[in-house]
A and B are shown apart, each in its own frame.
Chain A
Amino acid sequence: MAPRKTASVSSRKTAAKPAKKEFTGSNIAEFDRDQDLKAYREMLLIRRFEEKAGQLYGMGFIGGFCHLYIGQEAVVVGMQMAQKEGDQVITAYRDHGHMLACGMEARGVMAELTGRRNGYSHGKGGSMHMFSKEKHFYGGHGIVGAQVSLGTGLAFANAYRGNDSVSVAYFGDGAANQGQVYESFNMAALWKLPIVYIIENNRYAMGTSTARATAQSNYSLRGSGFGIPGMQVDGMDVRAVKAAADEALEHCRSGKGPIILEMLTYRYRGHSMSDPAKYRSKDEVQKMRSEYDPIEQVKARLIEKGWATEDDLKAVDKDVRDIVADSADFAQSDPEPDVSELYTDILL
């Protein structure tokens, strides 16, 4: 289904004006039943997976760094629903949701979190560092901002090969302050590369709110100096994300160069498992959970339209929970990699 034409792509001339919020409220295309059901299931899988990862962490099966995506599920799911086979995805360390949305196996992701042999990086990478050539997922990067330049290179490779693929590079509001992001923007605009830069603005970079760390908090304008159009998107509404994604991907595929989507979203949990998130109020979190939850929005719609019953949705939940439980069992029983494995894949 084609989205209604809504976003005016900001050009160099209009760039100085703060963009109005695009793709929000009623300003978006409806989903049909299949799309809503698909979105529901995919988002729920991520939610349940992350909840389980949090539990396993608490029980000591997962150690080190672990950043949960709970609250932001609509962003990757909406994007993925618009992407084509072959489009590359690259992101930072809050990556479990991206991998599941790409179709990577829950087992392999969970087993990587527990540092086991059949994890995507054979246990050597952990939560932040996983890849899948088959699913066009280029990582999983622990260094804030690094993936933005890499994503730009993927876009260059698409242009060089003359294929129809688009690189989708995710980064956070905090990462948007790294210098190499702007070096990348300049190159992408200069060379008209097919890349969608997705800024997941969840309002915080670790313990620091955007207000404390950024002079221009309308991130959709961050490319304006390079003539890169940008849109603000309600990242809690999977339909808004999908509509914006359709437009952005089409922009790239038609040879118009890079585009920025600022996803207005929210993470419910702390930055990582060790963060009690004392820098924000409980009310703020509660308000987002109760009024904007991406999964509840779809659920309400499905019920209201008579597209699914409570029982139908419970069955979806059961299905998803089974996948997650299986991945958790696997991740606990799979052995650690042999120590000789530490030496593999360093150089040929």
Chain B
Amino acid sequence: MARMTMIEAVRSAMDVSMERDDDVVVFGEDVGYFGGVFRCTQGLQAKYGKTRCFDAPISESGIVGTAIGMAAYGLKPCVEIQFADYMYPAYDQITQEAARIRYRSNGDFTCPIVLRMPTGGGIFGGQTHSQSPEALFTHVCGLKVVVPSNPYDAKGLLIASIEDPDPVMFLEPKRLYNGPFDGHHDRPVTPWSKHELGEVPEGHYSIPIGKAEIRRPGSAVTVVAYGTMVHVALAAVEEMGVDAEVIDLRSLLPLDLDTIVQSVSKTGRCVVVHEATLTSGYGAELAALVQEHCFYHLEAPVVRVTGWDTPYPHAQEWDYFPGPARVGRALAEVMEA
């Protein structure tokens, strides 16, 4: 076991995968020589050479299209999109080609690519460096969508994603890279080295895509979250003193519906939390599923806590960000109902 930040865990996952399989290649903007803007690929070019870890020009559409072609022939590209906000030029390739090639070719060709992309806010990134576009992926049939909340999961899930035969959108909450940020921006963040989930095996292991994890068992209310919001939810639950069960989805598609249904059937109350905007967000899907599957167990309407339906602002970031106070108010609301 080693102590790793989420950056180191992600790097270790790529390292282990490249070591085991010559078909794994890592590329993207500033990824090779520079080692990535968040340092996730640092040292990989030195270790594996320029044909396996390399810089791409600023050409997201071309980068992803090329990766899809490589994958159709059997390579396993693990591409870094520098920020999730930059994936839009590639969205056409993602939705029309990556997500469809298996279906369209009746399974002759597949698309084992991973697109890693730092996601979310809380870093003062404003409109074009804070977005959470997961719902734009979950709405497309043919993609897997993974969002880890800690180093241990990040490594195991990334290895599983690289080994997966289908395209995986791997969203890395950048506010979690160095520690379990709980939304209290005015307090120092505990580093991962002091958190049990910062303990990461050095070698190969994988975590199945599609299995949620209960981060805190409880019986009064279920909180469904992923990424940064897992830690925000845990903080809110502690502060409110509610006996909540906090579920970390880890993977949005495939979704571990069983874990959610079991929990809500037990608690009868549900709060869904995400950083992305409210309208047509992934929380809408979760709320609908809970309603369909747990209707007769529900004691209160399902409540969503999300970013505002606005672009991500430069000023007043902490008003936009759905921090522990807002999650706490939602908990109070469903408990009173």
Contact = CB atoms under 8 A, between A and B. Distances in A.
Chain B interface, >50% SS class: loop
Contact of B126 (A128, A174, A205, A342): A128
Given A115-B315, A144-B86, A346-B310, A279 B126 contact: no
A125 B34 contact: no
A64 B85 CA distance: 15
B55 A142 contact: no
Contacts, number: 112
A286 interface: no
B129 interface: yes
B310 A208 contact: no
A96 interface: no
A40 B85 CA distance: 38
A212 B55 contact: yes
A129 B34 contact: no
Given A179-B89, A206-B37, A343-B308, A337 B59 contact: no
Interface string B14-32: 0000000000000001101
A213 B55 contact: yes
Contacts of A108: none
Contacts of A112: 314
B219 interface: no
Contact of B127 (A125, A178, A336): A125
Interface in B99-127: 123-127
A123 interface: yes
Contact of B58 (A177, A207, A346): A177
B61 interface: yes
A299 interface: no
Interface residues of B, number: 35
Contacts of A206: 29-30, 34, 37
Chain A interface, >50% SS class: loop
Nearest to A206: B30
Contacts of A129: 126-128, 314
B57 A177 contact: yes
Contacts of B123: 64
A145 B57 CA distance: 12
Q: What bracket does the count of chain A residues touching chain B fall in?
A: 35 or more
Contacts of A337: 315-316
A142 B58 contact: no
Contacts of A180: 89
A339 interface: yes
A309 interface: no
Nearest to B127: A129
A116 to B, nearest CB: 7
A125 B57 CA distance: 27
Nearest to A212: B55
Contacts of B74: none
Contact of B59 (A65, A179, A207, A212): A179
A64 B125 contact: yes
B33 to A, nearest CB: 6
B62 A179 contact: yes
B319 interface: yes
A342 B319 contact: yes
Interface string A199-210: 000000111100
Interface in A162-212: 174-175, 177-180, 205-208, 212
B129 A64 contact: yes
B58 A125 contact: no
A124 interface: yes
Given A63-B124, A115-B315, A212-B32, 15 more contacts: A64-B314, A65-B129, A124-B313, A125-B127, A126-B127, A126-B314, A129-B126, A178-B58, A179-B62, A205-B57, A206-B30, A213-B58, A342-B308, A342-B320, A343-B308
25 contacts: A64-B125, A64-B129, A112-B314, A115-B315, A123-B313, A123-B315, A126-B126, A129-B314, A142-B126, A142-B128, A143-B128, A144-B58, A174-B57, A174-B58, A178-B89, A206-B30, A207-B30, A207-B33, A208-B29, A212-B32, A214-B57, A279-B33, A336-B316, A337-B315, A343-B308
Task: Across the A-B interface, give the 8 residue pairs with the lowest CB-CB distance, nearest first.
Answer: A142-B128, A207-B34, A126-B314, A123-B315, A64-B124, A115-B315, A177-B57, A63-B124
